[in-house]
Chain A
Amino acid sequence: MSGFEPRIVAFLCRWCASAGADLAGTNRLAYPPNAIPIRVNCSGRVEPQWVVEALKAGADGVLIGGCHPGDCHYVAGNYKARRRVYLLRKVLAELGIEPERVRLEWVSATEGARFAQVMSDFVAELKRLGPLHGNGGPK
């Protein structure tokens, strides 16, 4: 798998994870540029259908970034996201797709360094798993 650069779609909540990603940028932290970030209002807004659509459309992995437990701007959206990811990973495993390709992480607005670390870890994990779409994406 030499030279394989995983493609990641990252759904980041506006209040925590997305702000954390911004902080990583303003602090000039280096991390792998493999993700296409999509800002959503809340991790609880991320539909399992979006995650699957991303995988079908060419992503090797999907990251959902939300607020730490207790910090959700909408009180409980991150808990909802956690339960959805739990079930979705079960379904993906049954279909023969590694559940590790869908990752949920808590990143606060002050955790720029943690965001960079999460991205590095996820890219390393996806490199280990290999591409989901064979050579260079669907079709």
Chain B
Amino acid sequence: MKLAVYWTGSCGGCDVAFLELGPALLDLLPKLEIVFWPALVDAKRADLEKLPKHGIDVALVNGVLRTTENVEMAELLREKSRWLGAFGACAHLGGVPALANPGEGIAEVVFGPGFRPAPPLGEAPEDAPPELLPEALPLEEVVPVDFVVPGCPPPAGLIARFFAVALAEEIQPGQVFAAEKALCEECPRTREERRLARLVRPHEALADPTKCLLDQGMVCLGPVTRGGCAAACPKAGMPCTGCLGPTPKAGDPALAMLSALASLVRAGEEGEPAFPEEDRILEGLVDPLGTLYKYAFAKYGRPLRRLARRRQEVRA
């Protein structure tokens, strides 16, 4: 199988994640012909351009699309590949880097007001760095995506399953290599309480080793997130942050979780006298966008954000 792996706006963790396969790599590698993988082998864009159409069987793109060059590479890989997949939460949903989207121009935020990129050092225009896109985008916004290997980074079990299916030529269009059911189905913790008297952030409490983290007031996105990781984070005492993406039923994971949290919050007997205390508990959800949309902002939160931004432009 002719394989390409490419990174766009990425931390590099997805490329490393393949090593998690461990000894299974020794069986896998002889079955793969790596035609393009900048993290592993020296090949340039020109080499990719020389490949015939469909010269790649499977291309995996990890990272968010952040620059014009990212978009060009995504389009090039799409043209050269029979199957193109989003690998990891950034290519799938936007991921953590897409949390830059709510800001008013990321360059101004990072470098201060009045920032302008310097002119290219060389004479040739192609020496200039690629331009930032106005918004960080998931892969599917730019090219059709055939399948998704989700996660931040994808867990070894899902990577192994992907390769088994791909080598057997059995990828289904639109396939997501994770469970359809929620993470809670795989979580060994026991659920008892049906009400939340407080919300805590992970560093504010030591988690009870056996009780449901949500019951303990931690914002665990398990109820709205696909299983497939064997609940790795909750097993280690950390709430799920949603990296495998929402279950097909959940829709927008942030709004689904918001709904669930609001339903569970209680301050004693329900009723008007409890409203101020309920609000105080709800204020315990610090940074709602960063918590509820940690990985999925580009895909789900961006349409509303775009609406707000366009309106600000019209008014200005």
Contact = CB atoms under 8 A, between A and B. Distances in A.
A91 B292 contact: yes
Given A83-B282, A86-B279, A96-B312, A47 B307 contact: no
A48 B263 CA distance: 12
A131 B307 CA distance: 11
Interface stretch (B17-25, B135-143, B298-306): B298-306
Contacts of A49: 251-252, 255-256, 259
A90 B303 contact: no
**Prevailing SS type, chain A contact patch:** helix
Interface residues of B, number: 35
Interface stretch (A33-41, A74-82, A107-115, A120-128): A74-82
Contacts of A133: 307, 311
Interface in B245-269: 251-252, 254-256, 258-259, 261-263, 265
A68 B301 CA distance: 32
A95 B308 contact: yes
Given A91-B258, A95-B308, A52 B252 contact: yes
Interface residues of A, number: 29
A90 B287 CA distance: 10
A95 B301 contact: yes
A91 B254 contact: yes
Given A86-B282, A87-B261, 5 more contacts: A79-B278, A80-B263, A87-B262, A91-B254, A92-B304
B314 interface: yes
B262 A134 contact: no
Contact of A97 (B254, B261, B292, B308): B308
A52 B262 contact: no
A95 B102 contact: yes
Given A55-B307, A134-B311, A69 B251 contact: no
Interface of A: 47-49, 52, 55-56, 69-70, 76, 79-80, 82-84, 86-88, 90-92, 94-97, 130-134
Q: Which of B270, B282, B285 has the most CB of A within 10 A?
A: B270
Contacts of A84: 258-259, 262-263
B289 A132 contact: no
Contacts of B31: none
A90 to B, nearest CB: 6
B161 interface: no
In the A-B complex, the 8 residue pairs with the closest CB atoms: A96-B308, A83-B262, A84-B262, A69-B272, A48-B255, A49-B255, A97-B308, A79-B270
Nearest to A133: B307
B258 A87 contact: yes
A103 B3 CA distance: 52
Contact of A132 (B258, B259, B307): B307
Q: Which of B272, B301, B304 has the most CB of A within 10 A?
A: B304
